[in-house]
Structures are given as C-alpha cells and as structure tokens.
Amino acid sequence: MNGSGRWGLALRRTAACGVRVRGLAAASALLLLFAASASAQDGGPQDGGPRLAPAGTAIPGEKAIMLSSRARVRGAADVEALLADLVAFDTFHRSGTANRDHPSFQAMTAYLKDWCEAAGLGFADHGSVVVVTLGAGSDRLGLVTHGDVQPADAGKWAADPFTLDVTSEPGRLVGRGVEDDKGPIACALVAMRELRRIGWPLRRRVELIVSYTEESDWAPFQEFLARNPPPPLNVAFDAEYPVVTAEKGWCSVTVGIAGPEAAGAEGDAELVAFTGGFFLSQVPEDAVATIVGADDALVDALRAAADADEEATFTFEDDGVDEGGRPRLLVRARGLSAHSSKPEQGVNAITHLAALLATHDWPDSRAARMARFVDERLGTGRLAERFGDVAYEDPFMGPLTLSLGTLREDGERLVAGINLRRPEGRTREEVEASVRWAVEGWSAERGLADAVTLEQSIGDPHRVHDAPHVEVLLQTFRHHTGITDAAPLSIGGGTHARLVPNGVNFGPSMPGEPYTGHSEHEFVTREQLLDNLEMVTSLLVDLAVK
C-alpha cells in the first residue's frame, strides 16, 4: 500500500467543521478550531462511571477530532524517529536466554524509561513486561502491545533489518517490527504524550502494556497478569482494522520421519536431503533438496516440472560429487514469506518443492519419505485439503488454515513443523483425533508405522462477544477512513488480547492489504503510520478523557 491507497485517510466530512477536508489540510483546519476551543468540554461522563460515553454522544467526539489531528501534525517527525530508535533494538528471542536478560531487551527498557520520563509519563519495569502510564484513578484503560520481534534473514533485506530503511522504497518505512509491533508502540507513546500535554482531566488511567515475550513464550506475560491484575477495558494493536473480536486457536503439529540417508540403490538417482524454513510462524520462503546420481533425463524432467509451477521458482545447482563419485545436484525452491496465520499471502517453498520431487519415484530414504508425506498429506493448499478430515470452517471465524513452516534434520530423522490455525466448530479432542488419523493413517498405508512420530499441541480459538468499547472503535475507524460498513472480524493470529478482559485488537494493518509482519519484507507506509497515530489518539480521548 502506498500513501494514496484506498485505505489512507480519505476525503471525508469532519464532525467538528462540517466541511470536506483532506490529509494535512484537515489537520490544519482542525488545529485552528482547537486553538479557539481547547478549553471546551465535550460532555463526557464526569464521574468516571462505567459508561463509555453519554447516550447520544458523537464518536469520535469534538475533543478526539481536535487532538488526533494535532497529534498527526505535531507528532509526525517524532513518531518516525521513535520508531527508528525502537527498530534498532534487535529484540528477538535467543535460545537459552530469557528475553528480559538479553542486552537488547535491557537496552530498549532503558531507552523507553528515559523517553517516558522526558515525556512526563510514568514507567514501571517488570522485567518481561514494561508499563507506561498516564493519569491516576481506579478505572483503567489498557493498551496492549509487544516489544519483541521475530528474527530476520539479513540477506533478504535491502538494508539492515534492524535499521529503519526510509530510502530504498519511497513512502515506505522498512524494518523488522515496524508493523509487528514497534510501530504501534511508537504511535501509542506519542498519542499518550499529546494527551498529557493538553492536560484534559481523565476518567481512566491509561496503561500501555508492552510484553517482551509475545513471539516466543506467553508464560511470563501470564505470570505478570497474575501478579498485576490488568485493566477491565483493553485495546491491543497487534492485528488489523477495523476491530478484531475473534482469534483462531494456534496449533503446533510436529511430524518426524526416520529412515536411512540413502538406500544405496546402485545406478538410481537418490534424494538424500530435504530441508527448509526459518521459524514456525512464517510461511517459508526457501527450501532445498539434494539429489545424487541424477542423469540428464531426470534433470530435464525436473526442470520441466519446475517450469510448470506458476507460484514458486526453482534453481538447479551442481554441487560436486559424493564419496562414491556420483554427481550432487541442489534443487532450491523460492517462495514468498508471510505470517503463517495468513498462508494465502505467501508461497510455501517447502510444499512446492515436495510437489516437484513427487514427480519422480525415489528409492527409499528419509528425505524421500518426507517428500512423499508432504506432497500426499499436506500439498500446496492452505486449508488442510489433503490432511485427512482435519479441514473445517466456522461462519464467522472462517476456515482452518495450515502452514508447513519448518523442515529440519534431527539426527536420523527429518522433522516437519506444521502450524494450524483453527476456528470454533470442533473441540480440541476432535481436532487432535483428526490430525492423529491423518498422520498415522498415512504411515500405516506406507508401512512406516515404526518410523513416524507425532507430537501436537492444539490451542483453542477465542472470541469476545460483548466488549463494551467495540462500537467506539468501529466509529473511530469509520470516521477516520470513510469506510462506513466496517464491522468486527476474526483473524488467524493469536495475540495477547485474548489474555486480558475485554481485549480486542484495533489495527495496525488495514483490511484488504497484505500483513507484512513476520515476513522478510516488513514495512509500513509513512502515511499509514500517521493514520495509526491519528486513530490511536482519537480512541484515547473518547475512552479516557472526561
């Protein structure tokens, strides 16, 4: 999406002015109005009671419109500079070290503490969670984000993924975390600073809750919540607009297949290795197979099959000879990385390479067994169409999705990491039974019952039915985008919103646009970053100001 895309802040009628204005012109006009009426009250509740707004109050209110436009103008440079500073902290999980103990997380904590003190905001360091506060009182509004990110393959980025790239793609801010989830942190911080500066009395204390383990381990955040009861009203910025009220269940399925590296069949070409993927929650962009003893006819046949694939691309590389003097051939598949909750936005290199390898009948080996399993039980689809009877869907939450994320060697086994995202409609036990039948049924058919292992962790879907602030968020989105038919939606991803009371997601990704978090091309447009800042400021005023 670029700055002039259909989801940008469009030509609209503002409630405050009653005239059609656009972009910065809108902000300038509203700042003039703000100067004339900054001391006015918008009629919000004065008692801090449970109502979100008095009956008949327009959403967004006059104050929300004024301050959100001011934030867009006055905070534009600051929010981008803050995002650049946050991206520079390479806050991804390292095996064997708790995130809270790693220097990158500790450095970001120190930076946030200094920034908040300069901005006049409260700050509390809880180790695996930091909390930024504005205001006082027992009634509280939570803003839920996370400061950890997924790792990045630096070789696939135009610049260092942990340096905000503002030049390689004009209009886009490229870097790990700009969408998931450091861009939202920057917007929330600047919005809170603008609200503090204006000095309006608050009916709710605002708490920006920044988890450091959302991408790797939810236990520390759950422990934090047990010690520190969260606010009764929460908005997360870790998904998409307009308002996410349902999340599919996150499921991990691990299939291991043992077997010989090669059958040692004299004169036959053999598949001796097959690996791919980076991490489980990413649709894999790369996969590679090693073939020994391939003659020209086989190579030509594989090339022809590769040319017929309309999604993935393949390269064929000579790799010397094996110990027996047979030529080694590397076949590399290149797909398109994406968040595994949205497999339709990516191209899975592993499954496409398996489909290519399935065009030949290989002698027995663990790589050949795995290629056969992937092709026959997973395929290149995204909805578990071949995975026994695992596929199903829910009218609101949509279909179960499947992404084969990783394929790695583990001693004498190849291990496939499969990520399912499941909706309501079946019990956990029913899904577990379907997965078991799909895997064990295949292994029995192939005579490999003793060679195949299965581990699975099936998570539950989550849905919020009556969060009281959903309509406020919808009206905020409708006003600022002009999309009048906006309605709640479900996503495939799992976020910390499900762990807090009345937790729903509000952005930062626009509907209909690719979600780039977890991909090797994560970006947010400069225009979208400002749109997000404007909408976050608007909702803060309507939900927290008297």
Report pLDDT digits (tens) over 451-504: 999 999 999 999 999 999 999 999 999 999 999 999 999 999 899 999 999 999
Report pLDDT digits (tens) over 210-269: 999 999 999 999 999 999 999 999 999 999 999 999 999 999 999 999 999 887 767 789
Model pTM score: 0.87
Q: What is the pLDDT of residue 53?
A: 59
**CA 261: distance to chain centroid?**
36
Report pLDDT digits (tens) over 344-378: 999 999 999 999 999 999 999 999 999 999 999 99
Q: How far apart are CA 440 and CA 455, in angstroms?
A: 12
**Closest residue by Cα to residue 82 from 195, 236, 185, 171:** 185
Tally the C-alpha atoms within 13 A of residue 98's C-alpha that lie toward its C-beta.
10
Say yes or no to pLDDT of 14 above 60.
Answer: no
Say yes or no to pLDDT of 62 above 80.
Answer: yes
User: Considering just the CA atoms, what is the radius of gyration of the chain in Å?
Assistant: 26
The band of 29, judged by pLDDT with boundaries at 50, 70 and 90, is: very low
**Domains (range + CATH), the chain:** 12-248+462-544 (3.40.630.10), 250-458 (3.30.70.360)
Quote the percentage of the chain above a pLDDT of 70.
Answer: 89
**Closest residue by Cα to residue 82 from 530, 502, 499:** 530
Q: What is the pLDDT of residue 39?
A: 33
> Which burial class, exposed, middle or buried, applies to 406 when counting CB atoms under 10 A from its CB (0-12, 13-18, 19+)?
buried
Structure tokens at 5: 């895309």
Q: How far apart are CA 125 and CA 109, in angstroms?
A: 7
Say yes or no to pLDDT of 25 above 90.
Answer: no
**Cβ proximity of 195 and 203 under 8 Å:** no
Residue type, 273: A
Q: What is the pLDDT of residue 57?
A: 72
**Cβ proximity of 423 and 399 under 8 Å:** yes
Q: What is the pLDDT of residue 267?
A: 78
Report pLDDT digits (tens) over 35-57: 333 333 333 333 333 456 555 57
Q: What is the pLDDT of residue 499?
A: 98
Q: How far apart are CA 370 and CA 372, in angstroms?
A: 5
**Closest residue by Cα to residue 463 from 392, 394, 393, 397:** 397
DSSP state of 284: -
Angle between helices 366-373 and 349-357 (to 10 degrees): 110
Q: What is the pLDDT of residue 67?
A: 98
Q: How far apart are CA 264 and CA 364, in angstroms?
A: 9
Across 63-74, average pLDDT: 97
Residue 331 — φ and ψ, nearest 5°? -110, 115
**Cβ proximity of 303 and 316 under 8 Å:** yes
**Closest residue by Cα to residue 206 from 144, 143, 145, 147:** 143
**Closest residue by Cα to residue 257 from 369, 372, 353, 407:** 369
